[in-house]
Amino acid sequence: MFRQIFGNPRRLTADYASARSATAYTADGRVQAGVQSHRLNGWSLLAALFLALSLMPAAMAQNVKNPGVLVHAADDEPTTLDPAQVEAGEGGETVILQVYERLLEIAPDSPDLVPALATEVPSVGNGLISADGLTYTFPIRQGVTFHDGSALTAADVKFSWDRVMTMSLPESSADTLNDIVAETRVKDDFTFEVKLQRPSASFLNGAVVAMVSSIVSQDAVEANGGVAAGQPNPFMTTNMVGSGPYKFNAWNRNENILLDINDDYWGDKAKLNVRIEIGSEPDVRVLGLRAGDYDTIETDPSFVSDIEGAEGVSIHTGGLLLEPIHIGFNLNIPEGKLPAEDTIPTDFFHDPRIRQAFNYGFDYNAFLNGPLAGFGDFNPHYIPIGIFGYDTSAPVYAKQDKAKAEALFRETGYWDKGFSVSVITEEANLFADAALVLKDSLEALNPKFRINVLAVAEAVFDDAHAQNPIEYAMWVKNADPFADPHPYLQSYQHPDGEWGEVHGFANGYKDSAKIAKLIDDASVELDPAKRAALYSELQKLLFDDPMWLIAAQEGVVMAYRSWVKGFAMQPLWPRPSLKFALFDK
Amino acid sequence: MQIRDYIIRRLMVLPILIIGTSIIVFSLTRVGGSPIGIYLSHEMSPAEVAEIEARFHLDKPLPVQYVYWVSGVLRGDLGWSGVAAAPVTEIFPNKLAATMELAVAAGLIAVALGIGLGTFAGARRNRLPDHVIRVVAVGGASMPLFWFAILLLIVFWVHLGWFPVGRSDPNIFASIAHPTGLYTLDAILAGSFTALRDAIWHLVLPAVALGYGATAIIARMMRSSLVEELQEDYVDAARAKGLPERLVLRRHARRNALIPTVTVIGLTFGFLLQGTVVAEIVFRWPGLGRWMADSVLRGDQATIMTYVMFTSVLFLMVNLIVDVVYAYLDRRVVLGE
């Protein structure tokens, strides 16, 4: 918003600078005598002083600000700090990642699993996964204490997982455990055992490292409301008693969350306290970074031009986020519910040629080089780059092919008769941009095509998006991030999965049973090579039978003050994909 | 009618207005979307949605939900804020204090500067100070608040580093007790100069940004009223009897010029409250306005209801106060007729 009116703040500074230099070189180096009256001299001096002060380089303030504290400017505020209530991708995960620990964690610099509260990563080879793939044994680290001083044992681990499954809050990610865990058991004080309902190739990467599987202090929970089925625990919603490198200090609503270094941490201790500043506008976060008051900020690629080259600011741009931006095709449109301006029949997207034509018609480069400022890539349906199973040889819709789009629309008869369809999206973000690129792409292809972009407030979109069936033919959002391919394919491609049911994929897949079988088989295939081959086949099938238009996989863009040492970002961690305990300044 | 009788009559009508407002606001809020939208996701089964609805009594008919809401309000339970993840009653006082502190600071700036500049300009009609003040006033009245606010941020936060954003340094804030929630007042009560300086330091930019527009409105009104009053016969009479110009201005013209200005100041209060939404968002001020904006965007209806009702009642009270002050300043006004 600000940049549309002001332009780049640095350009504003440059304008000031050029104005100053123009004044300096006029009339033999003298101020234009006679132009200014004596009366104005005072005002001129004031103005000059104001201008000079405003031009003082930020270098004056380049000493490390807020020493001893890492200040992170976050995008939004958590709705809960309880692992048993938090939803995947929600702001609370940012804090849970720092304060709680899981049995295993994802390494900072690779997708490998590393021991955390468990001392070994289970595998068939080390005997911690049974031969039938159903029983997992976790040796629990000894000498770990929670922030309330109680000792962590296998009983706390069992309690934490059972608590999630007992509470089973609808808004939570409890199904991550409910769907796969058959039984939990304490073998001894420091051995925890899990029996699964069926073999799972994604249990460790999908469930064990998820924030919902964080280990909480049994003593703290039982002393503050205990566990009740279907009921949130108000204490745990707003307090945290974990075992991680940070202790929870305070949550000042709409203002900040304060975390203190845990001096009793069993591993490498954090070096800085943390202050998470909540909910600044994106423009203000950028200004705060430039001012040096924020050390790290959450932003998106469209702000790179505002930050690039700013003194004392570094930009981390390696890798890709694991949340592909996708446009959904609804194959389950209820009769008579579409917006009045839509002319498409309810079975419009049942025809795979229509879905292919949309995919060919989208101007991917316009989206990548426009709103994403070049930071991103295209991934095949539907495994993001960076996730196990991603096949570099799989076909990708990455280039607009107008001829193919036209041919497909002609085959279906829509080229001549045209159509009008609405796409709903949140307003003023990358999703709205993707919708607008779709509109421009298809309307430029054929003037008889009309794409109505309904850019609405977040709450309105969430309301529409949460319906089943959805009363719109198309919508734009991003995928939830996962560390394993199975949740992506189960959620976004399986005919009986979350979106398969809502969008009615069974109405449109050429071979629904085959796709379901491939996804199911891959989920229980414990041999990585065979599993990868199954995903490779899936990606080829899904290219021909797309259920989504994947606009792009957004690039990682994280801006931070150059005085932050040890900066590391791992897209497999919940956003903003940072562990503050690794940083110093 | 006596002022006391008038106030009593207005106070008696107040509950009816409040109940009527609450019914309208409650109905409109419910029409605006699902009150549990903040919790909903497509992953939920109908049974899970029903479970959340039952948690908040949303499975009942609308009039019954209204009764639940009213009975909750009477018990001091304003509902659960999904945005703040806490009961509204727990969060509201602190947010209100933050907003009031900002609005009062901006209001003080606006009233002091507005009346001062308006008087200064009106007394020097068509001279340079008058022209300058009019230009400044036009700027304040026409400049969008968000634009001016970001301009202040760029200059005084990014380039000069003189003033911060936010409400406080968390460490200093935590070092004193907060019996009133008003940081400046709490700092004075605690006798902490460091906290007081921190409070004022954080207050400057948002208060200036918010107060500028109101200053402009008040200054313009004060100037034009004063110019009008200075042309009245009674002013000539005062001058004719030998009163110094300073006293003519202070004792006669300015007092009368204040009458329409006070009305504008009352209306400006609404302007300031509206402005706090933008100022709080830009300056990360943790007040009601920012909380409300988040709540609207995320469909947090318990917060929306509370805010709208609070604002409505506040406006009713402010209007009453303005009417009474107006009558006090202008004895020709007959209340209630």
Contacts B287 to A, Cβ<8 Å: 254
- CB of B52 within 8 Å of any CB in chain A? yes
Distance from CA of B114 to the nearest CA of A (A): 20
* % residues pLDDT > 90 (chain A): 67
- Buried b / exposed e across A343-354, counting CB within 10 Å, b at 16+? ebebebbbbbeb
**pLDDT score at A27:** 33
Which pair of structure tokens corresponds to residue A119? Answer: 């001392």
Please say if the pLDDT value at position A373 is more than 70. yes
Worst-scoring range by mean pLDDT, A170-179, A495-504, B168-177, B239-248? Answer: B239-248
**Short-list B213, B205, B215, CA closest to B155:** B205
Q: Which residues contact A567 (CB under 8 A, 6 or more apart)?
A: A296, A314, A316, A560, A582, A583
Please say if the pLDDT value at position A57 is more than 50. no
Please say if the pLDDT value at position A406 is more than 90. yes
- Asked if A170 lies within 8 A of B39 by C-beta distance, the reply is yes
Distance from CA of B256 to the nearest CA of A (A): 33
**pLDDT score at A531:** 94
How would residue B3 be classed by pLDDT, with cut points 50, 70 and 90?
confident
- CB of A27 within 8 Å of any CB in chain B? no
C-beta separation of A581 from A245 below 8 A = yes
Contacts B297 to A, Cβ<8 Å: 457-459
Contacts B159 to A, Cβ<8 Å: 13, 53-56, 58
- Mutating which of A253, A276, A286, A311 best tests the B interface, going by the most B Cβ atoms within 10 A? A253
Three-state SS letters, A101-137? ECCEEECCCCCCEEECCECCCCCCCCCCECCCCCEEE
- Asked if A284 lies within 8 A of B296 by C-beta distance, the reply is no
For range A553-571, the mean pLDDT: 91
Interface of B with A in 106-165 (CB under 8 A): 128, 132, 146-147, 150, 153-155, 157-161, 164-165
**pLDDT score at A34:** 34
Reduce the DSSP state of residue A242 to 3 states and report it.
coil
Residue labelled with tokens 């600071």:
B105
The pLDDT tens digits for A104-144 are: 999 998 889 999 999 999 999 999 999 999 999 999 999 99
- Mutating which of A20, A44, A462, A468 best tests the B interface, going by the most B Cβ atoms within 10 A? A462
Peptide bond into A528 cis (omega under 30): no
Report the C-alpha gap between B116 and B103 in whole angstroms: 19
Contacts A238 to B, Cβ<8 Å: 85-86
How far CA B63 is from CA of A37, A113, A264, B60, in Å, comes to: 71, 54, 55, 8
Which pair of structure tokens corresponds to residue A546? Answer: 């797309």
Please say if the pLDDT value at position B304 is more than 80. yes
Contacts B84 to A, Cβ<8 Å: 77, 253-254
- Mutating which of B284, B296, B297, B304 best tests the A interface, going by the most A Cβ atoms within 10 A? B284
- CB of B31 within 8 Å of any CB in chain A? no
Which among A170, A253, A291 is the nearest to B84, CB-wise? Answer: A253
* Protein fold of A92-234: Dipeptide-binding Protein; domain 1 (3.90.76)
Q: Which has more confidence, B34 or B136?
A: B136
**pLDDT score at A29:** 34
**pLDDT score at A211:** 96
- Asked if A252 lies within 8 A of B298 by C-beta distance, the reply is no
CA A467 to chain centre: 22
Report the C-alpha gap between B38 and A466 in whole angstroms: 10
Question: Domain A2-34+324-555 is of which CATH architecture?
Answer: Roll (3.10)
The pLDDT tens digits for A459-477 are: 788 878 888 889 999 999 9
Integer Rg of chain B from CA:
24
CA B323 to chain centre: 18
Contacts B43 to A, Cβ<8 Å: 175, 498
Residue range(s) of every CATH 3.90.76.10 domain in chain A: 92-234
Q: Which has more confidence, B31 or A426?
A: A426
Reduce the DSSP state of residue B48 to 3 states and report it.
helix
Contacts A255 to B, Cβ<8 Å: 166-167, 284, 286
Please say if the pLDDT value at position A293 is more than 60. yes
**pLDDT score at A282:** 85
Please say if the pLDDT value at position A218 is more than 90. yes
Q: Which residues contact A476 (CB under 8 A, 6 or more apart)?
A: A325, A326, A327, A328, A423, A424, A425, A431, A432, A434, A435, A438, A551
Interface of B with A in 293-332 (CB under 8 A): 294, 296-299
Which pair of structure tokens corresponds to residue A266? Answer: 């069993």
CA neighbours closer than 13 Å in the CB half-sphere of residue A526 = 15
**pLDDT score at A121:** 97
C-beta separation of B288 from B278 below 8 A = no
The size of chain A, in residues, is 585
Report the C-alpha gap between A294 and A290 in whole angstroms: 8
How far CA A296 is from CA of A72, A275, A345, A543, B218, in Å, comes to: 5, 11, 48, 38, 42
- Buried b / exposed e across A513-532, counting CB within 10 Å, b at 16+? eebbebbbebbebeeeeebb
The size of chain B, in residues, is 337
- CB of A178 within 8 Å of any CB in chain B? no
- Asked if A39 lies within 8 A of B128 by C-beta distance, the reply is yes
Which pair of structure tokens corresponds to residue A4? Answer: 């549309």
CA neighbours closer than 13 Å in the CB half-sphere of residue B254 = 18
**pLDDT score at A571:** 86
How far CA A525 is from CA of A37, A132, A381, A528, A535, in Å, comes to: 86, 11, 20, 7, 11
Report the C-alpha gap between A214 and A157 in whole angstroms: 8
CA neighbours closer than 13 Å in the CB half-sphere of residue A521 = 15
Which pair of structure tokens corresponds to residue A569? Answer: 């970002």
- CB of A326 within 8 Å of any CB in chain B? no
Report the C-alpha gap between B264 and B279 in whole angstroms: 21
- Asked if A1 lies within 8 A of B146 by C-beta distance, the reply is yes
Worst-scoring range by mean pLDDT, A22-36, A195-209, A245-259, A291-305? Answer: A22-36
Integer Rg of chain A from CA:
27
- Asked if A498 lies within 8 A of B83 by C-beta distance, the reply is no
Other beta carbons within 10 angstroms of residue B249's beta carbon come to 21
Please say if the pLDDT value at position B19 is more than 80. yes
Report the C-alpha gap between A426 and B299 in whole angstroms: 13
Please say if the pLDDT value at position A158 is more than 50. yes
- Asked if B95 lies within 8 A of A254 by C-beta distance, the reply is yes
Distance from CA of A433 to the nearest CA of B (A): 19
Worst-scoring range by mean pLDDT, A30-39, A62-71, A505-514, B59-68? Answer: A30-39
Which among B49, B95, B164 is the nearest to A293, CB-wise? Answer: B164
DSSP string, A194-224: EEESS--TTIIIIIITSGGG-B--HHHHHHT
Distance from CA of A468 to the nearest CA of B (A): 7
Distance from CA of A391 to the nearest CA of B (A): 28
**pLDDT score at A152:** 97
**Short-list A382, A350, A298, A344, CA closest to A551:** A382
How would residue A32 be classed by pLDDT, with cut points 50, 70 and 90?
very low
For range A225-245, the mean pLDDT: 94
For range A542-568, the mean pLDDT: 93
- Asked if A254 lies within 8 A of B294 by C-beta distance, the reply is yes
Report the C-alpha gap between A138 and A124 in whole angstroms: 13
**pLDDT score at A62:** 58
Interface of B with A in 275-294 (CB under 8 A): 281-282, 284, 286-287, 290-291, 294
**Short-list A506, A420, A423, CA closest to A464:** A423
How far CA B235 is from CA of B241, B256, B257, in Å, comes to: 10, 11, 12
Which pair of structure tokens corresponds to residue B314? Answer: 């506040």
- Asked if A502 lies within 8 A of B42 by C-beta distance, the reply is yes
Residues paired with A193 in a beta bridge: A137, A185
Distance from CA of B174 to the nearest CA of A (A): 10
Reduce the DSSP state of residue A33 to 3 states and report it.
coil
Report the C-alpha gap between A548 and A358 in whole angstroms: 9
Reduce the DSSP state of residue A97 to 3 states and report it.
helix
Kindly give the residue spans of alpha helices, DSSP state H, lying in chain B.
3-31, 46-55, 62-74, 88-123, 128-142, 145-152, 170-174, 183-190, 193-229, 233-240, 245-247, 254-283, 288-298, 301-329
Contacts A458 to B, Cβ<8 Å: 297-298
The pLDDT tens digits for B23-63 are: 988 888 877 666 676 666 656 666 777 777 777 777 888 88
Residues paired with A450 in a beta bridge: A420
Residue labelled with tokens 């008579």:
A336
Residue range(s) of every CATH 3.10.105.10 domain in chain A: 2-34+324-555
- Mutating which of A171, A212, A306, A461 best tests the B interface, going by the most B Cβ atoms within 10 A? A171
Q: Are strands A69-73 and A296-298 parallel, antiparallel or unpaired?
A: parallel
Please say if the pLDDT value at position A2 is more than 50. no
C-beta separation of B166 from B284 below 8 A = yes
In chain B the first and final C-alpha atoms are separated, in Å, by 8
Q: Which has more confidence, A560 or B235?
A: A560
- Asked if B154 lies within 8 A of A9 by C-beta distance, the reply is yes
- Asked if A252 lies within 8 A of B164 by C-beta distance, the reply is no
Which among B153, B291, B298 is the nearest to A284, CB-wise? Answer: B153
**pLDDT score at B81:** 84
The pLDDT tens digits for A428-454 are: 889 999 999 999 999 999 999 999 999
- Asked if A463 lies within 8 A of B41 by C-beta distance, the reply is no
As a whole number, the mean pLDDT across chain B is: 85
**pLDDT score at A4:** 38
Reduce the DSSP state of residue B79 to 3 states and report it.
coil
For range B309-332, the mean pLDDT: 78
Worst-scoring range by mean pLDDT, A205-214, A362-371, B81-90, B197-206? Answer: B81-90
Q: Which has more confidence, A47 or B9?
A: B9
Contacts B95 to A, Cβ<8 Å: 253-254
- Asked if B33 lies within 8 A of A78 by C-beta distance, the reply is no
**pLDDT score at A346:** 95
- CB of B58 within 8 Å of any CB in chain A? no
In chain A the first and final C-alpha atoms are separated, in Å, by 32
As a whole number, the mean pLDDT across chain A is: 87
Nearest chain B residue to A4 by CA distance is: B147
**What element of type H or E holds A95?**
helix A92-99
Residue labelled with tokens 């699964």:
A196
The residue type at B322: V
Residues paired with B81 in a beta bridge: B86
Which among B37, B42, B85 is the nearest to A238, CB-wise? Answer: B85
